Amino acid sequence: MAEDEELEKIKRKKLLELTRSQEAKRMGGLRVCVPTLGWRGLDDEVCEHFGRAPTFTIVDLSTGKVEVIQNASEHMGGSGLPPEIMRSHGVDVMICSGIGPRAVRMFERFGVEVYVGAYGTVREAIRAWQAGKLQMATDENVCRMHRHE
């Protein structure tokens, strides 16, 4: 059983890598997103609660372009869910402090990799991800505090 689960994780990771590289080529770059507390771009702080983040900061790593968008999801009185919004903005990688299992599963279906353990500024979180210091989101390290399953 454990071997089957491990094999499935490896297959899923390889599929995500392939999807990411294809999307990056098509979009002209790799788009990374971080849930944030405001409008300060790379200098903004990572929001600890993914779904209730006031804003999302999206960085195109190939061009350096920074875009900050308001969280207009149903969590904030709008419509749609944050993973759907990130998909519409062409996000390839989501870097979070923590995130619930339902959101991780949605991101996986959309071919978006999710990493947890981020803190500090957006700039610091992206550097930590690039250095391999953040963990890919798994069933073991997602937030279950709010029961978003």
**Number of domain units in the chain:** 1
Residue 44's CATH number: 3.30.420.130
Residue 102 host element (H or E):
helix 101-109
The range of the structural domain enclosing residue 99 comes to 2-136
Q: What percent of the chain has pLDDT over 90?
A: 63
Give pLDDT tens digits for 1-45: 567 777 666 666 665 565 555 555 454 579 999 999 999 999 999
Q: What is the mean pLDDT of residues 104-128?
A: 96
Prediction pTM value: 0.77
Q: Is 5 helix (H, G, I), strand (E, B) or coil?
A: helix
90 falls within a domain: yes
